[in-house]
Amino acid sequence: MIMIGKILKYMRTTSNLKQSELSKLTNIPQNTISQYETGRIQPTFEIIERISKNCGFKINFVSKNDNVNSENIDRKEI
């Protein structure tokens, strides 16, 4: 499960944000962000979504026939 941590770190560093800056934007403690990035703890989908939005990314789910992302699906459908 370390892969999600690497992805979160990639999003943050690509956005030229320090952990402390992302912490302020997302209201997630800096030490928690660090633990996500190192794989010590796993974030919920909502946390991943919050981090990705603040880093300028969106989450996509792609299949052969469809492309769904966090912006084009209504949470009430789930």
CATH of the domain at 43: 1.10.260.40
> pTM higher than 0.85, yes or no?
no
Q: Helices 2-14 and 30-38 sit at what angle, rounded to 10 degrees?
A: 120
The CA-atom distances, in angstroms, between 36 and each of 26, 72, 77 are 14, 26, 28
What's the domain range around 61? 2-77
Q: Provide the domain count of the chain.
A: 1
* pLDDT tens, per residue, the chain with 78 residues: 579 999 999 999 999 999 999 999 999 999 999 999 999 999 999 999 999 999 999 888 888 787 777 666 665 555
Question: How does 10-19 read in b/e, with b if 16+ C-beta sit within 10 Å?
Answer: ebbeebebeb
- Using CA atoms, how far apart are residues 42 and 21, in angstroms rounded to an integer? 20
